[in-house]
Chain A
Amino acid sequence: MSPELPKAPYYKALGRKIALAIAAVAFIPYALTYFVFYSNFQESIRAQVLNSVRQVVESHQRTIDDFLNERLSDLNYTANLHTVKELSQPTEIQGILNSVNAVYRVYVDLGFLNSQGRHLAYAGPYGLQDADYSEAFWFKEVMSKGVYVSDVFKGVRGVPHFIIAVKVSRDGQDYLLRATIDIAQFTSLVEGVRLGKTGEAFIINREGLYQTQSRSHGSLLSPSDLPISEYFAGVRVYENITRRGRSVVVAETWLKYGQWLLICQQDTEDAFSQLAKTLNLAIIIGGFGLLIVTLTTVVITRSLVGRIAQADREKELLNEQIIQSGKLSSLGELAAGVAHEINNPVAIMIEEAGWVQDLMTDEEECYKQSPHREEYERALQQINTQGQRCKEITHKLLGFARRTDAPVELTQINDLVHEVVDLIERPASYANIRIVQNLAPNLPQVNASPSELQQVIINLLKNASDAMENTGGTITVSTKAAGSMGVILAVSDDGPGIPDSVLPRIFDPFFTTKPVGKGTGLGLSICFGIISKLGGKIEVASSKDTGTTFQVHLSAVSESMLAAAGNKSVPVPRG
């Protein structure tokens, strides 16, 4: 029988309960913390991403408004700085164009027009001196409002551009200073915006035409498919699904007094890629934590259940020992009672036989002739002899019983060996097993419970005789002093020996090679327990077909300890 637990399902259930408890205690705060942090973190990163998009739009809104305002103030400044006469000179205009382009090359051309929409002077590469703008929309706008910034349009030349113009009033006459803005210079302000991989900025006008190139949406002046919202102040940030099914983050604001809409748009996936990365990391860390918690739970549960099982086994073993010693103790009491009760009738029988012998001695003459005289004497002698035998048996029983509960005391191992061998010798002889005692005289005493030591000797002898049950053989029980402080008790048999595979386990509780029901597997375990408790050790040496020897080492009681304890032996006349 292997020392497997008889209650495996119980331990499985126990393990499950413990694991669940540990897991619950560990998981719940872990999960709560994790999800609270996770969601808070997600919220804040989200807000941060949206905010950064908003900021990009805000700063570009300022840049673009500044750019347009600067251009207008350039024109106003130029108009105020020069007289009409000067502005009407083509060479003068060319000079002005050169000087305003000195810093940035933003002006393509510059023209000074009269109120009929005719150029008084023009500087620029397009040769527009004779162009007539009197019917142009922008011309009318400037004349009525004084300032004008056009949308991007292709105009007379078919090249996308936009113009700005200011009205100049001198001496009751209205003039107009007009400049074409380099579209490239302007769009670079917007198209230069990069946000992640997909983020871009572009401008559409109220009609939904692209005022700047859009990388992913459309070319300049092509119609946009984006919805045009009503004018609003400030920046609006929202998430949207485009017509092509992409999820995007959009920030938009109105420019140029509600004429242009600056849109900054980025794919949601792209915008939140950092967040996604971080969250992925969080999930990995979370999963890792989960794994550790699970592993720890498993490990702790296993070790706990293992320990509980071990403790249960030990408890069971202890119970077994208690039951065993209880059994021995009650058996001992019973035996003692029986022994005492038997002593009286046996004494009477012996005395009566003695009395008959007495009478026969006295009346010898009468029996001399009897042919059965010797038989009478023999029979009476037998009664005496058998009575004495009964007495010996009861004495042994009493000796056994008296010690079942005895505490630790000075014990002579040789005496115990005698007693145990007396008990076992006869049943062993039925199996052709001879028991040889090879006991050292003057063996030091040991401090031990005699009943426990007796149990050890009984177990060792019984094991030895069980091993040779079928073959017969010789068991040698020997004692000797080991040095000045030790006693060695050895029980050797010449049986089949213990196989190597079994040898390391023989002291394990519940380990037995005997058939089910024949052995508890506790004998050697109990021996081991008893000897260990006494501070001794028990060793085994076995070889195949040669036999097995168990050696018990115990520390002896020294002379000085004996003297201190006082001589306890009682001078009882032998009866």
Chain B
Amino acid sequence: MTDPQSSNSGIRVLFVDDELEFALVVSKRLRRLGFQVSTANSGSEALLLARANEFDVAVLDLKMAGMDGLEVLRTLLILLPQIKVVMLTGHGSSQIAQQCLDEGAFSYLNKPCEFSKLVENINSASCEALKARRES
């Protein structure tokens, strides 16, 4: 990733996590790589953003105060049918992972996850999203 910015520019990422500091630092690192990142600290905030803006990829925490990650996932997929959602959570189990994938999540990652892996997932998700948009 010597010059990541060029390939990633234009990929719109919605980063949702109720851990403020986590959202902050990850969004900074993603922006550095050229992603257009919006952060939301709750499910409702994420949905507000999704209503007003287009996003290619969402990175979604599963356990949040207020609205549950799965609920946000469902609503997001309704609001933005082409969006690809990467689940990123510290409260995982294989059952929940399976449930997320069944509900339409693109992939599922456990916190803490290597940054490169997250970037990889976002990239492949955006490719999928692009493909889906072209098809439609």
A575 on the interface (CB 8 Å rule)? yes
CA gap between A334 and B61 in the complex, in Å = 22
Known contacts A344-B22, A350-B112, A351-B25: A572-B97 contact under CB 8 Å: yes
Residues of A within 8 A of B134 (CB): none
CA gap between A572 and B19 in the complex, in Å = 24
Partner of B25, one of A340, A348, A388: A348
Residues of B within 8 A of A570 (CB): 94, 97-98, 101
A130 on the interface (CB 8 Å rule)? no
B89-116 CB mask vs A (1 if < 8 Å, else 0) is: 0110110011001000001111111110
Pairwise interchain contact B94-A572, C-beta atoms closer than 8 A: yes
B29 on the interface (CB 8 Å rule)? yes
CA gap between A350 and B107 in the complex, in Å = 21
Pairwise interchain contact B29-A348, C-beta atoms closer than 8 A: no
| Shortest CB distance A381–B (Å) | 13
Q: Which of B21, B107, B112, B121 has the most CB of A within 10 A?
A: B112
A314 on the interface (CB 8 Å rule)? no
Residues of B within 8 A of A341 (CB): 90
B28 on the interface (CB 8 Å rule)? yes
| Shortest CB distance A400–B (Å) | 13
Residues of A within 8 A of B32 (CB): 358, 362
B31-68 CB mask vs A (1 if < 8 Å, else 0) is: 01000000000000000000000000000000100000
Residues of A within 8 A of B93 (CB): 398, 402
Q: For residues 340 through 379 of chain A, which have their beta carbon under 8 Å from a beta carbon of chain B?
A: 340-341, 343-344, 346-348, 350-352, 354-355, 358, 362
Partner of B19, one of A344, A395, A398, A402: A344
- When C-beta atoms are compared, the residue in chain A nearest to B63 turns out to be A340
A313 on the interface (CB 8 Å rule)? no
A6 on the interface (CB 8 Å rule)? no
CA gap between A395 and B92 in the complex, in Å = 10
| Shortest CB distance A341–B (Å) | 8
Pairwise interchain contact B21-A348, C-beta atoms closer than 8 A: yes
Pairwise interchain contact A573-B19, C-beta atoms closer than 8 A: no
A15 on the interface (CB 8 Å rule)? no
Pairwise interchain contact B90-A573, C-beta atoms closer than 8 A: no
Known contacts A351-B22, A354-B29, A358-B29: A344-B111 contact under CB 8 Å: yes
A434 on the interface (CB 8 Å rule)? no
A391 on the interface (CB 8 Å rule)? yes
Partner of B115, one of A346, A348, A351, A398: A351
Residues of B within 8 A of A387 (CB): 112
- When C-beta atoms are compared, the residue in chain B nearest to A342 turns out to be B90
| Shortest CB distance B15–A (Å) | 12
- When C-beta atoms are compared, the residue in chain A nearest to B108 turns out to be A572
- When C-beta atoms are compared, the residue in chain B nearest to A362 turns out to be B32
Residues of B within 8 A of A354 (CB): 25, 29, 115
Known contacts A362-B32, A570-B98: A344-B110 contact under CB 8 Å: no
Partner of B112, one of A347, A355, A362, A573: A347
Residues of A within 8 A of B109 (CB): 573, 575
Pairwise interchain contact A346-B112, C-beta atoms closer than 8 A: yes
Q: Which of A388, A398, A402, A573 has the most CB of B within 10 A?
A: A573
Partner of A343, one of B21, B29, B112, B117: B112
B127 on the interface (CB 8 Å rule)? no
B26 on the interface (CB 8 Å rule)? yes
Residue ranges of A at the interface with B (Cβ–Cβ < 8 Å): 340-341, 343-344, 346-348, 350-352, 354-355, 358, 362, 387-388, 390-391, 395, 398, 402, 570, 572-573, 575
Residue ranges of B at the interface with A (Cβ–Cβ < 8 Å): 19, 21-22, 25-26, 28-29, 32, 63, 90-91, 93-94, 97-98, 101, 107-115, 117, 121
Q: What 8 new A-B contacts, CB under 8 Å, besides A340-B90, A570-B97, A573-B121?
A: A343-B111, A347-B113, A348-B19, A351-B25, A570-B101, A572-B97, A573-B107, A575-B110
A-B contact pairs, 14 of them (CB 8 A): A340-B91, A344-B111, A347-B19, A347-B113, A348-B21, A350-B112, A351-B26, A352-B21, A387-B112, A391-B112, A573-B121, A575-B111, A575-B113, A575-B114
The 5 closest A-B pairs by CB, nearest first: A343-B90, A347-B112, A575-B110, A575-B109, A347-B111
